[in-house]
Amino acid sequence: MEKYQEAKENAIRYMRVADHVLTMTYPIVQDPKLLKLVFKNLFMSMQNLVLALLHYETKHFKIPEFIGDFPSALEAVKPVMKKHKINIEYYNFLDDLNQFMETQNESDVEFVRKDRFVFASEDYRLNIISKEKLKEYIIKGKLLMKEMQKVIK
pLDDT tens per residue across span 12-60 = 999 999 999 999 999 999 899 999 999 999 999 999 999 999 999 888 8
**Distance (Å, rounded) from C-alpha 138 to C-alpha 153?**
22
Residue 92 domain flag: yes
- Let me know: does 21 contact 138? Beta carbons within 8 Å: no
* Alpha carbon distance 77, 57 (integer Å): 10
List C-alpha distances in Å: 135 to 15, 82, 114, 140. 12, 26, 18, 9
Residue from 59, 45, 24, 53 nearest 131 by CA: 24
Residue 120 resides in a domain:
no
Residue 48 covered by a domain: yes
Residue 8 lies in a domain: yes
Q: What is the pLDDT of residues 95-140, one digit of tens each?
A: 999 999 998 888 888 888 888 888 887 788 888 999 999 999 999 9
Write out the residue range of the structural domain in which residue 22 sits.
3-101+134-151
Count of structural domains, the chain: 1
